[in-house]
Amino acid sequence: MSLLANLALAAWLVRPASSTTAAVSASSTNRTTPPVALAQPGATQSETANAVASNPPPPFLWSAIESADYRQYIANLRAVGCPEQTIRDIVATELCALYRQRAGAIWQPRKREYWQKPSSSDRPNPDQTKQLQALEKERDAVLHDLLGGHYREQELANALFLQLGSSERQLLFLPEDKRAAALEVLGDADVDTRVMELFNQGQYSREKEARLFDEKLKLLAKVLSPAELEEFRLRNSTDAQMLRAELRYFDCTPEEFKQIFDAHEASQGKVRTNDLLNRGPATEQIRELFGEERAKEYERVTDMEYQQARQSVDAYGLPVELADQAWQISHEARAAADQIAKDTTRPAAARQQQVQALQEQADRRLREVLGEKASVAVRRDLRELLGLTKSNIKP
Amino acid sequence: MKRLLTLSLLLNLVLAGMVWWRGRHEAPIPRQPRGAVGEPAARGETTRGVARVTRFAPAVAAPDTPWGRIESRDPAKLIANLRALGCPEQTIRDIVAFRVARRYREQVLATEVAAARARDYSHFENPGAYWDRHYSRLELREQMIAEIEDLFGRNDSWLQVVIGPTYRDDREYLPVDKRRQVRELDLRYRRLSQELESRGIAGTLDAEATARLAELQRQKQAELAQILSPAEQEDYLYRESPAAQYVRQHLPQAKSEAEFRVIVKVAAETGMDPSSDSGLNARYGIEPADPAVAKAAADKEAEFQRRLQEALGADRVAEQEAQKQAEAKRARLQEQQRHEQQERARLATIAESVGVSADAANQFLDRIKERQPELQTKFTELERTLTGTPEEKQKQMEATIKAEMEKQAVEIMGEKGRDFVQKAMDHGH
């Protein structure tokens, strides 16, 4: 047992000093500077500094801070009272620049003249991609080692371009302290990077996105209250986004939205959001939740044709009631066309003609109600829908 | 034996001590300083290039520390103080640029927080409010860029300040102050154009809005002419005008710079811009909302083609067209391959979730691909015989497809194939 312990301790001692230390700078010497020597008032460290008699000498010299070792450099900065954020900015920008240089040695985009097209084939080969990914990992490990937490190059870009990170944006509704705690747990699990990879590396699938979102919820459950977690879900899940799109013209309170959302989930796929082919189950669900009148409203305002009409009405500043009228015209025309199409007792050509006549009549009425310009998109959609009905009429 | 054990225990103690010591004294991480440490500059010499004085809240540093004595709310003063320490120029740039940027970002964050808290989750945000904040953020960024550039003199663009001289700016053909003017002009017109385009219905503009958009372009060109010299205007035309963007995006690679310039000139004279692609809506199956707009776009493109033939010759234009077709074909193939890879990855995930290997999912997809022509014919025939409402027909069709898929899946995966197909269909495959 004791021999085993000897072996284990010896192995730990002879392991490489740190996986992150070797490659930061191949050319740098491993000298460390002694602790910072502060310039005392009146000290003569530089003739230049003393040349201007009216200026007091600087409280310290940068040469005393410099070090060929990052740990020492950071310690020196701390020793003179440099603020932590400034230390992070100095060290992170320096390291990221260094790693950019090293990445450039592995691969960099071909220089393109202004008159040349960007080439889609100008990308690193699989081997270079592997090397670049390894380098990125190494950089992140060094940053983590030196600065703690999970510092990413993306944070520098976000600061400079005044952007918000994707999780940061999703958590804006929370109080500041909760937001910070939530960002920390998500940062520890590197969720944002994985979400970005999902979208950028052609690996997107709804299942993967849903799994990542579930993982996010589990992580956030450690720092958010159940109510905050629920609000996060209702604000940010893909299903909630889809439901918001469907309900954009449906007048509902946040509580009612939650009721609909929960009912959709409880239906286990029987009721699908934005299921344009089969509106029945969703309308039935609204009927059960809020009664007949609201169900009728829901059916109307979530219909594709209503949404198109409403968009046109809003864009042209027309009264909202005109969208209702336009929908009514379109709805009636579609229902009548379906009836005609089904009537197999009559010849196909006659039925097709009748649908065509219906379309022309509806087109005229839509023009009258919405006017020439505002009716353009609604008429186009109706033309396409009835065209489909017509083409499905078979002898 | 007892002696050996004693020796081993002693060795344990020594090793444990060394492990403890090493843990306390972590390995150094080698560093190569980013810039040469300078001689401390006399204070009077350190404020060069500062064109305007701004203020930022200093990062928290205890006032009685050495750093506290060089801190300043005035970035120009802080730069001067850092130069007086002999701080490398790039480090000064890093410190100050990020401090300025963080101050602006705080403003952006505060606005976004207020907006997020003001709305609930039942409805989307009003698009107008979103775009207002978007452009306010871009305007703030312009102010931030101007501030950073002013602080470090006007010879470097803001990203050169942060990244260093290796950064290449696409607008290097212009002096920094003119780049700023052009950026501000771009932003203003982008906002005006966006306001107009957001009123477009279902992604298309009517004739009146299209004409107003063209008028905005003309106004922008007129304003650019006030800022740029004739030589700079010419550079702008070939490098970043809407006509140059159109040529780079929609036409095959020019043979030479001279040919590119000829094409851009023709594109500019015929009013082509990146949105001038009358075939775009057709490719995506969108019928243009306003036929007059579609006709005008088609006429414009025809005129461009006619003028291009005059300028380059019919043979070269035909060659370009062939190249364009080949590029489109290649792009389609790549897209198909990418799509298939994604599909395989998705099916592999589903397969794993029902206890089937990814290989089996791949075999299943290969089998379906192999039988696709036969299945396609079968389903088309079936579609003709279906009766009932569109919803009923859809259901019958789905049931038939499912039964066929299950048959194939069970042959490859056994009974688990049924779960696999069910799950795949639930996920919209």
Chain segment B258-296, per-residue pLDDT in tens: 999 999 999 999 999 887 655 555 545 555 556 777 788
A2 vs A9: CA distance, rounded Å? 11
Residue type for position B389: T
Instruction: Tell me the longest C-alpha to C-alpha distance in chain B.
Output: 103
Higher pLDDT, A179 or A270: A179
Residue of B nearest to A389 (CA): B390
Q: Which letter, b or e, does each residue of B91-120 get, where b requires 16 or more Cβ atoms within 10 Å of its Cβ?
A: bbbbbbbbbbbbbbbeebbeebbebbeeee
Report how far residue B277's alpha carbon sits from residue B45's, in angstroms, rounded to the nearest whole number. Answer: 57
Query: Which of B43, B113, B334 shows the shortest C-beta gap to A172?
Result: B113
In a domain, B49, yes or no: yes
pLDDT in tens, A50-86: 433 456 788 899 999 999 999 999 999 999 999 999 9
Q: Is residue B150 part of a domain?
A: no
Give the Cα-Cα-Cα angle A336, A341, A346 (nearest 5 degrees): 110
Domain limits for position B60 = 38-123+136-144
pLDDT tens, residue by residue, B291-306: 777 788 889 999 999 9
Residue B109 pLDDT: 96
Residue B13: list chain A partners with CB under 8 A.
none
B156-B159-B162-B167 Cα dihedral, nearest 10 degrees:
-80
Give the pLDDT band (50/70/90) at residue A49: very low
Indicate the pLDDT class of residue B39, thresholds 50, 70 and 90.
low
| CA dihedral over B106, B111, B114, B120, signed as positive or negative | negative
Query: Which one of B31, B122, B350 has the shortest CB-CB distance to A252?
Result: B122
Among B144, B175, B198, identify where a domain stops: B144
**CB-based contact B257 A269, cutoff 8 Å:** no
What's the pLDDT at A30?
36
User: Mean pLDDT over residues B236-257, rounded?
Assistant: 94
Query: Given the structure tokens 């007048």, which residue do they identify?
Result: A251
Find the CB nearest A2 among B8, B287, B334. B8
Angle at B379 between CA B375 and CA B382, to 5 degrees: 140
Q: Which of B4, B7, B29 to mutate to test the interface with A (most CBs of A within 10 A)?
A: B29
- Quickly state the pLDDT bin for A6 (edges 50, 70, 90): low
Q: Mutation test of the interface with chain A: which of B85, B249, B337, B387, choosing the one with the most A Cβ atoms within 10 A?
A: B85
User: Does the residue B169 lie in any domain?
Assistant: no
Whether ipTM > 0.90 holds is: no
- CB nearest to B85's CB, from A62, A173, A308: A62
Helix axes A321-342, A376-391, angle to 10 degrees: 10
DSSP result, B357-402: -HHHHHHHHHHHHHHHHHHHHHHHHHHHH--S-HHHHHHHHHHHHH
Q: Do B124 and A245 touch (CB under 8 A)?
A: yes
Residue B373 maps to a domain: yes
Is the backbone of residue A323 left (phi > 0), alpha (psi -120 to 50) or beta?
Answer: alpha
Please report whether residue B278 resides in a domain: no
| Residue B126 confidence (pLDDT) | 86
- Asked whether A306 and A357 are in contact (CB, 8 A), the reply is no
The answer to whether residue B407 is domain-embedded is yes
Contact call for B390 and A235, based on CB within 8 A: no
Give the count of domains, chain B.
2
Average pLDDT value for residue range A151-173: 90
Task: Find the closest chain B residue to A119 by CA distance.
Answer: B253
Question: Hey, what amino acid is at A248?
Answer: R
For CA atoms A330, A333, A336, A340, the dihedral sign is negative
Spatial CA neighbour of A76 closest among A44, A37, A41, A40: A37
The amino acid sitting at A150 is H
Question: A86 versus B426: which is more confidently predicted?
Answer: A86
Better-scored residue on pLDDT, A179 or A156: A179
Tens-digit pLDDT profile for residues A362-393: 999 999 999 988 888 889 889 988 998 988 88
Torsion of CA A281, A283, A288, A289, to 10 degrees: 120
Question: Per the CB < 8 Å rule, is B287 touching A384?
Answer: yes
The secondary element (H helix, E strand) that includes residue B39 is none
Cα distance between residue B234 and residue B133, in whole Å: 34
Instruction: Report chain B's mean pLDDT, rounded to a whole number.
Output: 82
In a domain, B270, yes or no: no
Among the listed residues A264, A210, A22, the one whose alpha carbon sits nearest the alpha carbon of residue B28: A22
**Among all residues of chain A, which has the CA nearest to that of B335?**
A202
Q: Which of A47-56, A384-393, B60-69, B309-318 has the lowest mean pLDDT?
A: A47-56
Greatest mean pLDDT range, A202-211, A263-272, B110-119: B110-119
**Confidence class for position B203, pLDDT limits 50, 70, 90:** low
Across residues B59-74, what is the average pLDDT? 84
Select from B138, B221, B135, B232 the least CA-distant residue to B179.
Answer: B232
Q: Which percentage of chain B shows pLDDT scores above 90?
A: 39
pLDDT > 70: what percent of chain A?
A: 84
Q: What angle do CA A308, A310, A316 make, to 5 degrees?
A: 105
End-to-end CA distance of chain A: 90
pLDDT of residue B55: 60
Q: Would you call B30 and A29 a contact, using CB atoms and an 8 Å cutoff?
A: yes
Q: Give the pLDDT band of residue A46 (cuts 50, 70, 90).
A: very low
Q: Do A9 and B116 touch (CB under 8 A)?
A: no
Of A232 and B17, more confident: A232
CA angle A26, A27, A29 (to 5 degrees): 105
pLDDT on residue B380: 78
